[in-house]
Amino acid sequence: MASKPRTLYEKIWDAHVVERRDDGTCILYIDRHLVHEVTSPQAFEALRLAGRKVRRPDLTLAVPDHNLPTTPRTDAAGNRLPIKDPQSAAQLAALEANAPAFGIDYIDATAPEQGIVHVVGPEQGFSLPGATIVCGDSHTAAHGGIGALAFGIGTSEVEHVLATQTLQLRPSKSMEVRVEGELGPGVTPKDLILHIIGVIGTAGGTGHVIEYRGPVFERMSVEGRLTVCNMSIEGGARAGLIAPDETVFSYLEGRPYAPRGEAWDRAVAWWKMLHSDPDAVFDKTVVIDAAVVEPTVSWGTSPEDVVPVGGTVPAPESFADPSKQSAARKSLDYMDLEPGQRIEDIAIENVFIGSCTNSRIEDLRAAADVLKGRTKASNVRWAIVVPGSGLVKRQAEAEGLDQVFTAAGFEWREPGCSACLAMNPDKVPPGERCASTSNRNFVGRQGPGARTHLVSPAMAAAAAVTGRLADVRTLAPCQAVDA
């Protein structure tokens, strides 16, 4: 192998190339494949029709999440409750049948380990540093937070991976997002990634894989890193990753699918080599000053439409690009906002804390910290917390967080994707606003006509108690009250 200095991305890529064709296309080996109920039925069906098997069922894990209702899944006697929507029920039934038929580990909708695929993978130790990880969902990039090369794929690629455990791909370019300095108090990983997307734009990472670098990430928890990498796709990148370190290793050690004993030691030794060489050249570098990042809120219908919470809604004319101007006009119209309006004057009727971006234990703790001893404002009609997995839910309950949420007027739900994409019954009503910890503020994403403001969990909690978008740092510290 050439001794040319390589980036982290290049190292992981090179370690997985089965074959390289003259035109640059590679057959890339896939280490981990996560499967959910919405993008897999036709892939399994095609395998069946072609008489093909799943090449490596041992490297595949199935869990339903996208369209499961988040209301209780069993009755008092522990019997499964049926899903009302026939199409959702059919998709769940298909996965339930396909997983055992093809010899794939399946986490049942009622199992305590069930949750959003991108929460479950790291939590179960199924996702590992340096691994190639795919899933039929574009936010697969999240797993980059533990130092994996992870990206979303379509249904025919799901089929391709099931049948061959590989994909035919061309390498992406590499991009460095270097964050210098430290985040201020009350500023979270979600604020940072929203800020980054605001700087690079939704096309900033197109054709690239992003590596996030800098002391901020070295100090960041695994949960925070998963949040940052999760939204790489909103910055246009196919994947985003952070070099694995001791924080990641101690997070993974002892998890159900993680290697043990001697295998663990060998794994850690290899993982320690997974970082960009000092002289590695990135095709593109963006430098971000952490000190300028404020709690950040989206105002429009694109994830790049962000401002600090203390700011105002921008005027379309403030953008240089004429196509951006017209997009901004449309966004403001859809969002029913006026240029110059103070962000903190925007009233909120709904609050959603959940999604693979922000539904891990640390996210729930951050929200609960703000909510302790407070209740939601009277104009907030609907506030829900959807933990990322059953294990997160149990942990939160053990810490009494569920009591804090319900005392504050939140509904405490079962794990799933929920109002992130509103494929299940959890929808924001037309014309209403939602302070949401999810990742996409597209038109109609949280329900037809719904208006989404992307925020961090602490900011979502602040919106709930004030009834408007509010700077969580300005809320008077509240005495912890025993729930």
Q: What is the binding site for another protein (CB under 8 A)?
A: 15, 18-19, 27, 29, 31, 41-42, 45-46, 50, 52, 55, 58-59, 87, 90-91, 94, 105, 124-126, 128, 130-131, 154-156, 159-160, 163-166, 168, 253-260, 263-264, 266-267, 270
Partner from ligand SF4, another protein, none contacting 116, C-beta within 5 to 8 A by type: ligand SF4
Nearer to another protein, 87 or 318 (CB): 87
Partner from ligand SF4, another protein, none contacting 355, C-beta within 5 to 8 A by type: ligand SF4
Q: Give dist(CA 283, CA 365) in Å, integer.
A: 38
**In the complex, what is the shortest distance from the CB of residue 312 to another protein, in angstroms, rounded to a whole number?**
37
The verdict on 470 binding ligand SF4 (CB under 6 A) reads: no
Partner from another protein, ligand SF4, none contacting 172, C-beta within 5 to 8 A by type: none
Number of residues that bind ligand SF4 (CB under 6 A): 13
Partner from another protein, ligand SF4, none contacting 191, C-beta within 5 to 8 A by type: none
| CA separation, residue 211 to residues 53, 146, 153, 398 (Å) | 35, 12, 20, 35
The side-by-side arrangement of strands in the sheet containing 132-135 is 105-106, 60-62, 32-35, 132-135, 149-152
Nearer to ligand SF4, 421 or 450 (CB): 421
**In the complex, what is the shortest distance from the CB of residue 227 to ligand SF4, in angstroms, rounded to a whole number?**
11
Partner from ligand SF4, another protein, none contacting 319, C-beta within 5 to 8 A by type: none
**In the complex, what is the shortest distance from the CB of residue 51 to ligand SF4, in angstroms, rounded to a whole number?**
31
Reference 352, options 292, 416, 438, 412; nearest CA is: 438
Nearer to ligand SF4, 117 or 401 (CB): 117
Q: Which residue has the tokens 């029709």?
A: 49
**Tokens (6 digits) for 288:** 């971000």
Nearer to another protein, 27 or 475 (CB): 27
Q: List the beta strands (DSSP E) in 349-454.
A: 350-353, 382-385, 411-412, 433-436, 451-454
Reference 131, options 37, 257, 247; nearest CA is: 257
Contact 386, 415 (CB under 8 A): yes
The verdict on 197 binding ligand SF4 (CB under 6 A) reads: no
The verdict on 417 binding ligand SF4 (CB under 6 A) reads: yes
| CA separation, residue 224 to residues 200, 234, 237 (Å) | 20, 16, 18
Considering only residues 96 through 125, tell me which ones interact with ligand SF4, judged by CB under 6 A: 116-118
**In the complex, what is the shortest distance from the CB of residue 417 to ligand SF4, in angstroms, rounded to a whole number?**
3
Q: Give dist(CA 201, CA 305) in Å, integer.
A: 9
Contact 105, 374 (CB under 8 A): no
Partner from ligand SF4, another protein, none contacting 394, C-beta within 5 to 8 A by type: none
With 0-12 CB in 10 A as exposed, 13-18 as middle and 19+ as buried, what is 204?
buried
Q: Give dist(CA 365, CA 363) in Å, integer.
A: 5
Whether the CA torsion 412, 413, 416, 419 is positive or negative: it is negative
**What is the pattern of x (binds ligand SF4, CB under 6 A) and - over residues 338-377?**
-----------------xx---------------------
Nearer to another protein, 48 or 381 (CB): 48
Reference 148, options 162, 169, 134, 158; nearest CA is: 134
Residues in contact with ligand SF4 by the rule CB under 6 A: 65-66, 116-118, 137, 139, 355-356, 417, 420-421, 439
